Structure 1
Amino acid sequence: MLKLQAQIISGYSEKIKEVTDDINQTKKLIDKLSLVRVGLFLAEILFFILLVRSADDSLRTLIQIALLWPVIAFAYVVRKQSRLDLEIDYKKQLLWVYQNEWNVLNGQENGYDHGTAFESETHPYTSDLDIFGKASLFALLNRCSTKKGKDVLAKKLAGKSTRDIILNRQEAVKEIIIKIEETYSFRASLHGYDPEKIEQIKTQLKLQLGEQLEFVLSKFLRLYVKLVPFVTFGLILAAIIFSSAFWKILALVFIIHTGWNVLLSAKINKVFYSFGGSSGLLNGYASAILWTEKQNWKSTYILSLFDSHVPVSQEIKSLSKIIQNFDARLNILVGGILNALLLWDLKCCINLDIWYKSSSKDLIAALNHLGDFEELISLATVAYNQPDWVFPIVTDQFTLKTEQLGHPLIRPELRIDNDFQLSTNPTVDIVTGSNMAGKSTFLRTLGINMVLAYAGAPVCARSMQLPVFSINTYMRIKDSLNESTSTFKAELNRLKMILDNVVKDNDTFVLIDEMLRGTNSRDKYLGSKVFIEKLIAEKTPALFATHDLQLADLIIDHPETVRNFHFDIQISDGEMKFDYLLKQGPCKTFNAAILLKQIGLTLD
């Protein structure tokens, strides 16, 4: 499988080179067009000089006609350059996407958000299992640029699901894996924009825009704005053909238009500053939505994401065009002339109102569902990048069985995989072993793969079968100076949370690493013992990692509901060697004495 992953890395390298070459070629074309623009400008100057020096004859007429061609050609070249600039911007984002995948597969950080905002010490498992934050599962999976996408991914990693939803999501992720080559363009269309801007636009559409546009509902205003181009150009034509008096009328109209616009400027600005400058963002989002619309989706989960039978990508492009026209006001000279001639800002507001009443609801839903697609693409991308991972079998029976289970955050060449299987009835499995032998890592390995499974993602294993559990963990217990909470009090709070959850949810699965570290050894043992017996009484399956060998003796009183496992060490010439393999029975070999001896302390 490492060979197959090397091929995937090589594939990303080829794509990086290909896109880089495309960008360089496009830049060269833009440079050539810049020279053409200079040439056209010089040609225009030359024709103007010839016009000034020419006599009033047929040659002068030809020169006048010739003056138009450099202007027309110049406008075409500028438009062409603008399109090429947009193409380069898109290709740069696509290059970033490919480069990021190459980086992740080569052990570097994922460039997407790490989910630090979702960290919580009070959640039943996310802190202990490294679900959010730097070097977390979220940091490994996340390929979301939108706030909604990150929120959905976080929710799927932190919440309990149902078997039907998990199976539907597996089906959706598998379908996207088949289209993985197309998802890079989807991601490039969304990357590079401020995610808060699109949230602002969604809020504006949902809550504010209708009220803000009430000032353009006047029938007279709409009729006049519709007729104003004919009025303006009619006056200009009349002034040229008939009399200079029409110029005075036109000047008066300009003053009235400008004054009208100034009077309404506060209302116009409210509308504009929620959308202004966002036409590029909207075009990118339109491209992403278009991709989702043109696919022939089969999976039930993805089909449920479409709320509208209307092509929303066209609606968002229409909005983008309105905003692009509205942006003309950013140029004071151009905006002033357009408002004086055509009441341009009012025309854009009226067009926006017409669009809002027909299309805004569909657009808000489609923008939200982009996040759903991003989240599924995140899981599909990791599945594609890790071809040795498998989709688990999610069953409604009490059974948990894994083969070659590894920690997804440990690189393949470094991690040690283990097999594990629950008994046919709920048991508390006590895992003993030396320091650094692998107890904590194994508990986190099992827990984090369960989180992956419940999100509908593949797991880091050769095979895995499991039911839907509610995961509860007790591993990294911290005191809190701000809340005047000692370590022992923090431990008690965590235990109470677990016990409450065990009582409320019969499907709870508990992972505990060294309980009651904040108290004396006698109370630690007794507290651990009664807690384990409580789990047994509630028929709650659990893995309980500990250094306390006395707890392994609980199997004597509870032979059907307690099992013992261990991680050991091999000592050769005073040196410790770890194999990190889970074995049956309690541990017989510990390393505390050796570690103490290394710092100058000897135990008798």
Structure 2
Amino acid sequence: MLKQQQEIIAGYQEKIKEVTTEIDQTKKLIDQLSFMRIGLFLAEILLFIALVSSADDNLRTLIQIGLMVPVIAFAFIVRRQSKLDREIDYKKQLLWVYQNEWNILNGIANGYNHGTAFESELHPYTSDLDIFGNASLFALINRCSTKSGNDILAKSLAEKSTLDKILLRQEAVKEIIEKIDETYSFRANLHGYDPDRIEQIKTQLKYQLGAQLEFVKGKFLRLYVKLVPYLSIALILAGLFVSSIFWKVLILLCIIHTGWNVLLGAKINKVFYTFGGSSNLLNGYAGAILWTEIQNWKSPYTLGLLDSKIPVSKEIKALSKIIGNFDARLNLIVGGILNALLLWDLRCCVNLDNWYKSSSDDVVTALDHLGDFEELISLATTAYNQPDWVFPVIKDQFALSAIHIGHPLIKEQLRVNNDFHLETKPTVDIVTGSNMAGKSTFLRTLGINMILAYTGAPVCAKIMELSVFSINTYMRIKDSLNESTSTFKAELNRLKMILDHVVKDKDTLVLIDEMLRGTNSRDKYLGSKVFVEKLITEKTPALFATHDLQLADLIIDHPETVRNFHFDIQITEGEMKFDYLLKRGPCKTFNAAILLKEIGLTLD
């Protein structure tokens, strides 16, 4: 492991220690406040006992005033404790983020989504190159908590990009690397919440909320909701200082308010149930959006994600406050009193409607763009954690060249790096070699690094230069009992898909590992030969891994368009040793006889 990466791991360890200490200190402060609340409660009881037992009017007046002190102090402590609870929740998420980075660098699985939902054997390359699923590229680099972030990252890994877009994204990723210490706070604000919850809120804001709030658009209702607090306060004061008749009027008014609220209950519930209980979630997302707003971005790609003319974080904070007030209805006693005196639910709905008219479009757009930032941060974090990886040079002209390229999913201490260069024109490169010598791994190494390069991320290589290709692979072909598909039929389907792509997209690059396994050796050779010659005709570059040495002889008929490479083994006293290094020319040493002998079968 590089010294620089060891320093990165040590840095995460230090951050874990710091945040853990902060959490412990905050917990102690919360415990102290809890004891203070108990003390204030006991003080209130003692003051009440003193009030009941005192016969001195002056003393009673003083005690009555004193009764307010514990109540006010109690309310202040509850507010302070609630703030500390939110703070400790945030710090726990920040601790998780740091711990997860430490885990990944120490060979423990990433705690974010592994992208299994995006797996598809029908895709041109994602299944063969281990792009999605457990032990995949997605599982290595993903740092997205939101559904949109996961979707955007998956799209970047699965769809062809353009030269201009790749270059813009490289610039954006490099800029975020410089701000990497600040990205952990962004991620902590988004982690720990149900990603489906924010999707429900976005859907309601986009398509439903306007229609759901139609019932509060009447002028009389809005005016009355605005005036009702003043009316209730006036009746209370009149009941205290004028006449008890006003208490009866107030009771009647509360009954009317309660009935009104019950009549509109179904409509109020439709509005509430999507938003209810999401105040903390919205505060977290507001904090993440605020981070994107306060950065001094220079990358055109990143600046393009900030298309709102207003500070959206403030708008989400305002929405969070409305939802926090709305949540008061969850307490039946408090909610009942507030609705009876102030028409609280209707008041919240009116406030929500006012907010919706001015802010909803910008908020939905900003929430969507959080996924774009998460995706860029995923790539930047991977780049930061792997300081020996490099950003590839993306070229406009046909090119593919790599020095010391290795597979990013293989641990560094086990990884063997290779050099590889295409000619200035397309060739079909036949890669022969023994079982387990490294042919398949090399093809995947090349392909997975190309996918990384096209996202704008660095690659696991010392130097890499390439143009933009459409990658098509043929590696893990499976039969399907459900679809009544034999292995041979599945292989034919894959070949047809590749041929269709080759014809439609002249920038296709094909990676094939042992073609036509599901048929006899003669047809396998003839089919492979015809396919290679078709690729030559279409001027499609390809790497073709095979055990069939006859295919290496195609260089005789096609000396300008076929090249031979191989992975060999060294056999010492009957034992095999692999160096996993790519070499020029066809393979001349094979190990099938040795492997068969190990299970008790001897070839003459």
Cα distance in 1 between the residues matched to 2:295 and 2:156: 24
Q: Offset of 1:520 from its aligned partner?
A: 0.2
Alignment of structure 1 residues 585-600 onto 2, 5 Å: 585-600=585-600
Matched, 1:83 2:83: yes
Cα distance in 1 between the residues matched to 2:173 and 2:531: 40
Aligned-CA RMSD value: 0.6
| Aligned partner letter, 2:410 | I
| Aligned partner letter, 1:557 | D
Aligned match of 1:517:
517
Q: Offset of 1:116 from its aligned partner?
A: 0.3
Aligned match of 1:113:
113
Cα distance in 1 between the residues matched to 2:200 and 2:158: 26
Q: Offset of 1:65 from its aligned partner?
A: 1.4
Deviates more, 1:34-43 or 1:212-221: 34-43
Alignment of structure 1 residues 151-300 onto 2, 5 Å: 151-300=151-300
Deviates more, 1:47-56 or 1:266-275: 47-56
Cα distance in 2 between the residues matched to 1:328 and 1:525: 75
Aligned match of 2:418:
418
The superposition leaves residues 342-388 of structure 1 with CA deviations (integer Å, 9 ceiling, x where unpaired) of: 00000000000000010000000000000000000000000000000
Cα distance in 1 between the residues matched to 2:521 and 2:71: 89
Q: Offset of 1:58 from its aligned partner?
A: 2.4
Aligned match of 1:143:
143
Cα distance in 1 between the residues matched to 2:399 and 2:78: 66
Q: Offset of 1:222 from its aligned partner?
A: 0.3
Cα distance in 2 between the residues matched to 1:82 and 1:250: 33
Matched, 1:5 2:5: yes
Cα distance in 2 between the residues matched to 1:185 and 1:308: 22
Aligned match of 1:38:
38
Please give the secondary structure, in 2, of the residue aligned with 1:577. strand
| Aligned partner letter, 1:399 | A
Identity %: 80
Aligned match of 2:583:
583
Aligned residues: 604
Cα distance in 2 between the residues matched to 1:321 and 1:77: 20
TM-score w.r.t. the length of structure 1 is: 0.99
Cα distance in 2 between the residues matched to 1:483 and 1:61: 87
Matched, 1:451 2:451: yes
Aligned match of 1:405:
405
Cα distance in 2 between the residues matched to 1:317 and 1:325: 12
| Aligned partner letter, 1:468 | V
Alignment of structure 1 residues 320-335 onto 2, 5 Å: 320-335=320-335
Aligned match of 1:345:
345
Cα distance in 1 between the residues matched to 2:4 and 2:71: 56
Please give the secondary structure, in 1, of the residue aligned with 2:534. helix
Cα distance in 1 between the residues matched to 2:66 and 2:330: 33
Name segments (4+ residues, structure 1) moved above 4 Å: none
In structure 2, list runs of 5 or more residues that go unmatched: none
The superposition leaves residues 230-261 of structure 1 with CA deviations (integer Å, 9 ceiling, x where unpaired) of: 11111111111111111111111011000000
The superposition leaves residues 448-496 of structure 1 with CA deviations (integer Å, 9 ceiling, x where unpaired) of: 0000000100000001000000000000000010110000000000000
Matched, 1:302 2:295: no
Q: Offset of 1:136 from its aligned partner?
A: 0.2
Aligned match of 1:379:
379
Cα distance in 2 between the residues matched to 1:544 and 1:441: 13
| Aligned partner letter, 1:500 | D
TM-score w.r.t. the length of structure 2 is: 0.99
Matched, 1:361 2:361: yes
Cα distance in 1 between the residues matched to 2:60 and 2:119: 76
Matched, 1:503 2:503: yes
Aligned match of 1:529:
529
The superposition leaves residues 392-417 of structure 1 with CA deviations (integer Å, 9 ceiling, x where unpaired) of: 00001111110000000001111000
The superposition leaves residues 57-106 of structure 1 with CA deviations (integer Å, 9 ceiling, x where unpaired) of: 32222222111111111111111111111111000000000000000000
Please give the secondary structure, in 1, of the residue aligned with 2:307. coil
The superposition leaves residues 177-208 of structure 1 with CA deviations (integer Å, 9 ceiling, x where unpaired) of: 00000100100000000000000000000000
Cα distance in 2 between the residues matched to 1:262 and 1:57: 45
Cα distance in 2 between the residues matched to 1:350 and 1:319: 12
| Aligned partner letter, 2:351 | N
Cα distance in 1 between the residues matched to 2:99 and 2:54: 60
Cα distance in 2 between the residues matched to 1:504 and 1:238: 83
| Aligned partner letter, 2:307 | D
The superposition leaves residues 149-196 of structure 1 with CA deviations (integer Å, 9 ceiling, x where unpaired) of: 000000000000000000000000000000000100100000000000
Cα distance in 2 between the residues matched to 1:569 and 1:103: 35
